Amino acid sequence: MAFTLSVHPFIYVAKYNNGTWEDKLLEQEHLSFEQEQQLSEADKNSLLIKRNQIKGLPLVNFTTQYGLGCFEGVKAYPQKDGSIKVFRPDENAQRMKNSMEGLLMPGISPEMLQKGVMDSVRENDRIGFLPKYNSAWEANNFITADAVYIRPFTYAEPGIGLGISVSPWVISVSTNVSGYFKEGMKSRAIVTDKVRATTGGTGWIKTASNYVVPILVKKAAEKDGFMEAIFLDPDEHKFIEEGSSCNIFFRLKNGNLVTPQLGDTILPGITRKSVITLAKDMGVTVEERKISIDEVMLEAEEVFVTGTAAGVTHLGSFTYKGKEKVFGNGNIGELSYKLQTTLKGIQYGVLEDKFNWMFKI
């Protein structure tokens, strides 16, 4: 259940027209959650296909033709007290606005989008489609626990010539998920010679087109037995940038935690930002700077990636130009584990949320 297109019945839709954003919740076709689970596979797929369609969205537009669109990844978590809370939706909503404006679209109000996301989660919870807290998740520190993945995205008005979207939609759907990386796959990563984002380009925007190369590279890496692919900088091809869909951290032999500094080729991750806060709170020295693949191969003792889907996931080794460097005998390191369990504990409500990251619906 890592990612499936089992879209929940309530979706959020906003539209920009003549200088104004207007929004609403749409209730798509559905039965009760229990009734849907009893459907045959064919009938359930038919229902989900209907639910994944919105009447009135144009087939030919700037998004479908040129990838001129952006999106977000937000998560909601079942709490031990029975409630549902959303992790830092204010940050996602602000980044969505920044991405839209980076693509020369009118940016949606972060407050409007945050409210729409929260309202849709609330309604889907009300009709019983969201997962409930399971104390069994605590046994492995929530690594395989269920959550709700929320995907706001833009969709452009009709257009076939080269142009920008001046009257976009913002739509937000959600689905239940569990772990992101495939269970049982060894936590090996390979350093690719392909380029994720170019200097002066759109690497800092969470735009659809940025994911084409990473998806192709990641699938090739998985075919060769690797869990993740790592990208170097586009200019000198020696500094670490990101994973295929996640930011990356290195704990060095001196105890410092290093992550590549933000720039126009690196996405400003919200989990990245949170992990930096947690590490500093633990007394760890955090450096945001360039870090070369050579330094990693010589000095890194722990490596982990971060993201909305990935959470905090350790990498046991890097393979670079045919040479494999193993970190911590391939096992998760002490700091990686502490950050992973702390973040999960806050998200699932078993640890104090002293940074006020969790928003109750």
Structure confidence at residue 206 as a pLDDT band (50, 70, 90): very high
**What pLDDT is recorded for position 57?**
96
Q: Does residue 253 carry a catalytic annotation?
A: no
Structure confidence at residue 2 as a pLDDT band (50, 70, 90): low
Q: pTM of the predicted model, to two decimals?
A: 0.94
Question: Annotated catalytic residue: which of 15, 97, 206, 218?
Answer: 206
The CA distance from 129 to 239, in Å, is 44
Do 327 and 301 touch, CB atoms closer than 8 A? yes
Using one digit for the tens of pLDDT, what is the confidence trace for 218-247?
999 999 999 999 999 999 999 999 999 899
Structure confidence at residue 178 as a pLDDT band (50, 70, 90): confident
Statement: 10-177 belongs to CATH 3.20.20.120: no
What percentage of residues in the chain have a pLDDT greater than 90? 94
**What pLDDT is recorded for position 185?**
55
**What pLDDT is recorded for position 5?**
77
Quick one: average pLDDT of 236-260?
A: 97
The CA distance from 301 to 327, in Å, is 5
* DSSP secondary structure string for all residues of 180-201: SSPTT---EEEE-SS-S--TTS
- What percent helix, strand, coil does the chain show, rounded to 5? 30, 25, 40
Considering the segment(s) 188-347 as one domain, its CATH architecture is Alpha-Beta Barrel (3.20)
**What pLDDT is recorded for position 183?**
52
* 3-class DSSP state of 269: coil
10-177 and 188-347: identical CATH topology: no
Domain ranges in the chain are 10-177, 188-347
The CA distance from 7 to 26, in Å, is 12
Using one digit for the tens of pLDDT, what is the confidence trace for 125-163?
999 999 999 999 999 999 889 999 999 999 999 999 999
| Mean of the per-residue pLDDT values of the chain | 95
Structure confidence at residue 181 as a pLDDT band (50, 70, 90): low
Quick one: average pLDDT of 70-90?
A: 97
Using one digit for the tens of pLDDT, what is the confidence trace for 290-336?
999 999 999 999 999 999 988 999 999 999 999 999 999 899 999 99
The CA distance from 81 to 171, in Å, is 30
Using one digit for the tens of pLDDT, what is the confidence trace for 14-58?
999 999 999 999 999 999 999 999 999 999 999 999 999 999 999
**What pLDDT is recorded for position 1?**
43
